[in-house]
Amino acid sequence: MTTNEFDQDAAGAADLGKLEENLEKLEGLTKRLAKVMSHKRNVPASLQGPGQDLYMKAATAYMAEMMHNPAKMIEHQVGYWGKTLKHYVEAQNQIAHGKLEPPEDTGPSDPRFSNPLWDSHPFFNFMKQQYLLNAEAMQESLGGLEGLSERDRQRLDYFSRQIVDMLAPTNFLATNPDALEKAVETQGQSLVDGLENLVRDLEANQGELIVSLADKSAFKVGENIGTTPGQVVFRNRMLELIQYTPTTETVHEIPLVIFPPWINKFYILDLNAQKSLIKWLVDQGFTVFVTSWVNPDASYADVTLDTYVEEGYLAAIEAAKTICGTKKVNTVGYCIAGTTLSATLGVMKRRKDTSINSATFFTTMTDFSDPGEVGVFLADDFVDGLEAECAATGILDRFYMARTFSFLRSNDLIYKPAIKSYMMGETPPAFDLLFWNGDGTNLPGKMAVQYLRELCQGNQLAAGGFNVCGETVDLKDVTVPLCAVACETDHIAAWKSSYRGVQQMGSKDKTFILAGSGHIAGIVNPPAKKKYGHWTNPEIGLTAEDWRDSADAHEGSWWPKWQAWLAEKSGKQVPARAPGGPGFEPICPAPGTYVSAAPKL
């Protein structure tokens, strides 16, 4: 035997040994998988998909279309079968002539099919083109149905797209060339690593699949994320109030109190020194307070929006005023916290409380007459299920919120990361924004149902009046100077809906800014990055479409424009304030304890 032959045999034996080792690992992982699935979370059927009435309406509309307009249906079917059969014949013809290459591919470009094999390999190209033809046929068939309300049409379109996206050939190992190539290159190690990732995610979520989007071991709040210096200066059962340490010798007299959403953690505004809106505001000479909301457990079951207003907003505002020795504060509300800030301003107006000098709303919905994409989950079938879940457990578990928002961008937030993690065996990236995205919180049961029923479904702030803290308020009660920032591609708070809410507010001093990008990236957009432009237009009376068409475009971040607006509302310069004061001595350093405390479940 030659040395070369010996080396080849040794390499083959090593590969075989590696394969056997991986097979043993697969056996162990399979046992873990079976164990976690045997204790799978019981998710009510009402929260697994839309009610059967939606499909019955679609089926009825389809049958009516067949009866009353058969030519249209026949034309659609003939067109679909014609394209499918033509492509099949062309593929067969290539093989018959000895050409191991696909027929001409004139289909649309799709980032899911970026591997060159999707275009050059006969099998993969056939799978891709047939999938795209089927997807097109389904969308055209359902999109052309008559006899459905616009809301039902939107929901049918959304949930049918979910099915189409789920069935993409990229989502299956046997038809994903990237995953197959990686498995061969690694002697199956990628599949072992992928199964390990899958089992880990299932174990972390009681058998339900929530894809890990970021490497959780890469971040620790207070160490490399959420690190702007400050002190917790007030605490109650609802929040910790953080006051940040000044970095300038003087500051604006009127402090700023920021209310982040309690669906996630406040440090989205303090990811790191380069991205932190909080640090940037401190460096511009503002005294900044931020609320860090509690992560509620079942003991918070009876907490309502009244509690958030009284023990959250009003308590934080009073503390900031006392600490700074001012009669007024400026405020910011982000997402659901902006909606609740609107209600709080109404309560304060009814009580003749003039503590708010100005209000800023980040990606805030107050008029839910057209809630946009998220509206597909606001029908009774889902809300009834959530209400039953809240009644049974006392909370709305963060699992449901995470899953809902992920499905609004399923290709980006479910299937793409699932392919990389479970098929390719890759470790999730060390990405701070995605780490934050996975660090959600529970919601008190009554508060969640109240928000869904009265504000989202009932649209009471914009139509009829919303009862909160013993007062009936509506958008006309928001009379302080205001600035609203919406995001162009926001899939949670549609910018046009945000704009319509601002139009109905009673303030005579309104500024509306449309930022590029989405719900998070559009807000967390520091000037130094020079990303995403923004648009302004003082004519708030226009329709949303006309406002956008006639708006002035600006390059880069909206932060400096808002900072100039806020500075005008913030008074003269005074000596910088150290955190805390008499009766509000510092309790602990920022980011506090609530941000990392787990609920007692």
Contacts of 453 (CB under 8 A, 6+ apart): 383, 387
Number of domains the chain contains: 2
- Across residues 537-548, what is the average pLDDT? 96
Q: Which two tokens stand for residue 241?
A: 């109030």
Apex 250 CA angle, 246 and 254, nearest 5: 85
Backbone angles phi, psi at 231, to 5 degrees: -140, 145
- Note the pTM of the prediction, 2 decimals: 0.89
Backbone angles phi, psi at 158, to 5 degrees: -65, -50
Q: Which of 138, 156, 171 is the last residue of a domain?
A: 171
Distance (Å, whole) CA 503 – CA 119: 50
Domain membership of residue 328 (yes or no) is yes
Domain membership of residue 127 (yes or no) is yes
Q: Which candidate in 324, 335, 390, 456 is catalytic? A: 335
User: Which tens digits make up the pLDDT trace of 470-527?
Assistant: 999 999 999 999 999 999 999 999 999 999 999 999 999 999 999 999 999 999 999 9
Q: Which two tokens stand for residue 162?
A: 């979910």
Determine which of 99-108, 149-158, 390-399 has the lowest per-residue pLDDT on average: 99-108
| Residues 134 and 238 reside in one and the same domain | no
| Residues 312 and 456 reside in one and the same domain | yes
Report helix, strand or coil for 372.
Answer: helix
Domain membership of residue 508 (yes or no) is no
Confidence band of 600 (pLDDT split at 50, 70, 90): very low
Q: Which value, to the nearest 10 degrees, does the dihedral of the CA atoms of residues 541, 547, 550, 556 take?
A: 130
Polymer length of the chain: 601
Domain membership of residue 447 (yes or no) is yes
| Residues 165 and 260 reside in one and the same domain | no
Supply the range of the domain harboring residue 139.
45-171
User: How much is the mean pLDDT over the chain?
Assistant: 88
Domain membership of residue 115 (yes or no) is yes
Enumerate the β-bridge partners of residue 333: 259, 361
Confidence band of 2 (pLDDT split at 50, 70, 90): low
pLDDT at residue 6 tops 50? no
- If one compares 118 and 69, the residue with the highest pLDDT of the two is 118
> How far lies 475's CA from each of 453, 487, 569, in Å?
18, 21, 21
> How far lies 104's CA from each of 88, 94, 109, 411, in Å?
12, 10, 14, 27
Q: Which two tokens stand for residue 118?
A: 């999707």
Distance (Å, whole) CA 368 – CA 277: 28
Domain membership of residue 20 (yes or no) is no
Q: Could you tell me if 216 and 456 are in contact, meaning their C-beta atoms sit under 8 angstroms apart?
A: no
- Across residues 252-264, what is the average pLDDT? 97
Residue closest to 226 by CA, chosen among 262, 277, 261, 263? 277
Distance (Å, whole) CA 451 – CA 455: 5
Domain membership of residue 239 (yes or no) is yes
| Residues 402 and 329 reside in one and the same domain | yes
pLDDT at residue 337 tops 70? yes
- If one compares 548 and 21, the residue with the highest pLDDT of the two is 548
User: Which tens digits make up the pLDDT trace of 51-65?
Assistant: 777 667 666 655 655
- If one compares 211 and 588, the residue with the highest pLDDT of the two is 588
Q: Which of 139, 155, 171 is the last residue of a domain?
A: 171
- Across residues 145-168, what is the average pLDDT? 84
pLDDT at residue 90 tops 80? no
| Residues 331 and 238 reside in one and the same domain | yes
The top-scoring range by mean pLDDT among 8-22, 200-214, 246-260 is: 246-260
Backbone angles phi, psi at 408, to 5 degrees: -70, -20
Distance (Å, whole) CA 265 – CA 437: 9
Q: Which two tokens stand for residue 410?
A: 């399923």
Domain membership of residue 207 (yes or no) is no
| Residues 150 and 237 reside in one and the same domain | no
- Across residues 234-256, what is the average pLDDT? 98
pLDDT at residue 378 tops 90? no
pLDDT at residue 601 tops 70? no
- Across residues 81-110, what is the average pLDDT? 73
| Residues 257 and 152 reside in one and the same domain | no
User: Which tens digits make up the pLDDT trace of 184-207?
Assistant: 898 888 989 999 999 998 888 877
**What pLDDT score does 61 carry?**
58
pLDDT at residue 325 tops 90? yes
Residue closest to 252 by CA, chosen among 582, 568, 591, 580? 568
- If one compares 385 and 39, the residue with the highest pLDDT of the two is 385
Share of the chain above pLDDT 90, in %: 62
Backbone angles phi, psi at 390, to 5 degrees: -65, -40
| Residues 243 and 116 reside in one and the same domain | no
**What pLDDT score does 412 carry?**
87
The top-scoring range by mean pLDDT among 5-14, 113-122, 511-520, 591-600 is: 511-520
DSSP 539-583: -TTS-HHHHHHTPEEE-S-SHHHHHHHHHHTS-SEEE---S-BTT
**What pLDDT score does 250 carry?**
98
Identify the CATH number of the domain in which residue 443 sits.
Answer: 3.40.50.1820
pLDDT at residue 37 tops 70? yes
pLDDT at residue 243 tops 50? yes
Report helix, strand or coil for 283.
Answer: helix
Q: Which two tokens stand for residue 482?
A: 């205001």
Confidence band of 14 (pLDDT split at 50, 70, 90): low
The top-scoring range by mean pLDDT among 20-24, 75-79, 289-293 is: 289-293
| Residues 234 and 346 reside in one and the same domain | yes
**What pLDDT score does 89 carry?**
75
Q: Which two tokens stand for residue 55?
A: 């499909």
Q: Which of 153, 171, 189 is the last residue of a domain?
A: 171
**What pLDDT score does 65 carry?**
58
Contacts of 203 (CB under 8 A, 6+ apart): 32, 36
| Residues 318 and 426 reside in one and the same domain | yes
Backbone angles phi, psi at 319, to 5 degrees: -65, -45
Radius of gyration of the chain (CA): 28
Annotated active-site residue 335? The verdict is: yes
| Residues 344 and 249 reside in one and the same domain | yes
Q: Could you tell me if 65 and 230 are in contact, meaning their C-beta atoms sit under 8 angstroms apart?
A: no
| Residues 166 and 248 reside in one and the same domain | no
- Evaluate the omega torsion of the peptide bond into residue 560 and state whether it is cis, within 30 degrees of 0: no
User: Which tens digits make up the pLDDT trace of 437-461?
Assistant: 889 899 999 999 999 999 999 999 9
**What pLDDT score does 44 carry?**
75
